[in-house]
Structure 1
Amino acid sequence: MTLSSSAERPSRCADAGKLEVSFEFFPPKSPESEVALWTSISRLLPLCPSFVSVTYGAGGTTRERTHQTVARLVRETDVPPAAHLTCVSATREEIDDVARAYWAEGVRHIVALRGDPPAGIGTHYEPHPGGYAYAADLVAGLKKVADFEISVAAYPEGHPENGSVDTDIEVLKRKVDAGATRAITQFFFDNDIYERYVERVRRAGINVPVVPGIAPVHSFKAIAGFAEKAGASVPSWLAQRFEGLENDAATRQLVAAAVAAEQVLDLVDRGVTDFHFYTMNRADLVYAACHMLGLRPKTDEAA
């Protein structure tokens, strides 16, 4: 047996201190889900993420709960929070007021998104009269409110409403030109798709970080449904990994952890140093993937 050098695999000798992770959470809908959210946050924050983001429901339906969660992060943690904001169902003045309130709370980072229409209001997006029409407009408006750090969305397989990667890159360039400082991708499972997308983004003259969005597979059925709505492909090999495990939660968890670790370690081998995890308010698989990246909790004694 020939032993290979670990230098052939950067992920096996990577300096975890050079890696950055961030986590996305969604605001709780009930007292029980609030406990689950903060349990997950408490589990993941010792890994010292560069920031944590809190989502904003379709049509701004979670505006108050998002604000409450972000405000609590500011008060009770040292990790910079990023608040999601969308263009949907609000005038420019209303959105600017929300942004000013965040700035007053100490929030310096916004994830600026076009957003989706609320459930039951149709599936086709229509700009709100008097509102910001698209994410690039929102980015420009936020920059006038305050000097926010602004992250925006990117779609390696094209936005689901147009399915064109070229169109997505044109839209991304408009957002960056308006002041966005980071792009976070829709989740994907084929790292070749991400790598090709980043190459095309760079050829288009876009030089901000394009951070891969990673979605651990807590439920294959659920993630397949999310992927269909988001325009993300689900490789046949991924379906095969979870085949026959519908009633075997323990094995399904092990397989999901292995899949997540495999993806992030391969990305490290390709030179990626920054990861954004869609946690679904659950810490287990995200924590395992971060552990595989070499990240360890920072205790007060080690700080």
Structure 2
Amino acid sequence: MTMKTPISFEFFPPKTEEGAVKLQQVHAELSTLKPEFFSVTYGAGGSTQERTINTVLDLNAKGISTAPHLSCIGSTTALLKGLLNRYQAHGINRIVALRGDLPSGMGGGTGGDFNHAIDLVAFIRKEYGDAFHLEVAAYPEMHPQAGSIEKDIQHFVAKAKAGADSAITQYFYNADAYFHFVDRIRAIGCDIPIIPGIMPITNYSNLARFSDACGAEIPRWMRKQLEAYGDDSASIKAFGLDVVSRLCEQLIAGGAPALHFYSMNQTAASKAICDRLGLSPN
């Protein structure tokens, strides 16, 4: 019997009561796919901190492990210890440890006791031992602020050595970028699992904006086809389903240990991909 590839889903904390009600529904629907965990994002400089905490604790209580994103930008040691103690007391055992985005107007400083994700990983390991499974970010197409691909890979390996258990990548649409990244870090002795981040395609203008901001490449042929569809959302979604499902098939065939879906607090696109891949429960 072939083992199904593990899956997980990312949410963002809702801003409104209507959004909170919708997230409960999305969570219930995606829970039927039996994911390994859910994760919940954290805004620039911790701007959604309370909403993140409340969302994480609420969802985790429903029975599937929920991992908060934890950003060190703007955070003090005392603030992080208080937050981690709170999570630990509620049975949270997985953390996505990130540097985080700088809020606009902050300039070059981080405004806290930590400058990089490696500092956060080392701090959690020192203070909490193995109490948390630590996920970190990986950038197969290079972090947009990295000086070079070499520096980016060195920085990633340093995060692994500091105590990261596994990594989730920025989304990408070129499987070779992922495989090349994995080959590079394996060649220098880093063996933590690298989980591809998967971004379903449902809206081209939003995707283009996200991708320009985070440095994710949309291949030219994909851009041209998506542009050609204009406002034809049905064609965009059908094309996106084909392209992303095929990408996932390549990743699974090439040995990716799991898939992490950036759900954008939506159900349909992620579920359709999982259905096509045979990852939904029978």
Fold-level match, TM-score > 0.5?
Answer: yes
**1:141 matched to which residue of 2?**
123
**1:79 matched to which residue of 2?**
64
Matching of residue 61 in structure 1 with residue 43 in structure 2 = no
**1:11 matched to which residue of 2?**
none
1:192-211 equivalences in 2 (<5 Å): 192-211=176-195
Q: Distance in 1 between matches of 2:102 and 2:111?
A: 10
Residue 266 of structure 2 aligns to a residue in which SS? coil
Matching of residue 32 in structure 1 with residue 18 in structure 2 = yes
1:230 pairs with one of 192, 214, 238: 214
- Contact 1:157–1:163 at 8 Å: present in 2 too? no
**2:237 matched to which residue of 1?**
253
Percent identity (aligned) = 40
**1:5 matched to which residue of 2?**
none
Give the Å deviation of 1:250. 1.9
Give the Å deviation of 1:257. 1.4
Query: What are the ranges of 5 or more consecutive residues in structure 2 without an aligned counterpart?
Result: none
Matching of residue 279 in structure 1 with residue 263 in structure 2 = yes
- Greater displacement, 141-150 / 181-190: 141-150
Matching of residue 99 in structure 1 with residue 68 in structure 2 = no
CA deviation map 1:155-189 (0-9, x unaligned): 11111112522211111111111110001111101
- Contact 2:95–2:133 at 8 Å: present in 1 too? yes
Matching of residue 161 in structure 1 with residue 125 in structure 2 = no
Q: Distance in 1 between matches of 2:37 and 2:257?
A: 15
Aligned CA-pair RMSD: 1.6
Letter in 1 for 2:123: G
**1:90 matched to which residue of 2?**
75
CA deviation map 1:98-139 (0-9, x unaligned): 1111111110000000011113434x4x2334x122111101
Q: Distance in 1 between matches of 2:244 and 2:276?
A: 9
Give the Å deviation of 1:219. 1.3
- Contact 1:212–1:275 at 8 Å: present in 2 too? yes
Q: Distance in 1 between matches of 2:110 and 2:21?
A: 36
Residue 134 of structure 2 aligns to a residue in which SS? strand
Residue 27 of structure 2 aligns to a residue in which SS? helix
Letter in 1 for 2:121: V
Q: Distance in 2 between matches of 1:120 and 1:30?
A: 26
**2:97 matched to which residue of 1?**
112
1:263 pairs with one of 244, 247, 255: 247
TM-score normalised by length of structure 1? 0.88
Query: What are the ranges of 5 or more consecutive residues in structure 1 without an aligned counterpart?
Result: 1-13, 299-303
Q: Distance in 1 between matches of 2:236 and 2:144?
A: 29
Residue 169 of structure 1 aligns to a residue in which SS? helix
Aligned residues: 280
Q: Distance in 1 between matches of 2:114 and 2:148?
A: 23
Letter in 2 for 1:70: V
Higher Cα radius of gyration: 1
Residue 92 of structure 2 aligns to a residue in which SS? coil
TM-score normalised by length of structure 2? 0.94
- Contact 1:87–1:128 at 8 Å: present in 2 too? no
Give the Å deviation of 1:258. 1.4
**1:7 matched to which residue of 2?**
none
Residue 280 of structure 1 aligns to a residue in which SS? coil
Letter in 1 for 2:205: K
Residue 205 of structure 1 aligns to a residue in which SS? coil
2:111 pairs with one of 105, 125, 128: 128
Letter in 1 for 2:33: L
- Contact 1:154–1:168 at 8 Å: present in 2 too? no
- Contact 1:18–1:273 at 8 Å: present in 2 too? no
Residue 14 of structure 2 aligns to a residue in which SS? coil
- Greater displacement, 133-142 / 265-274: 265-274
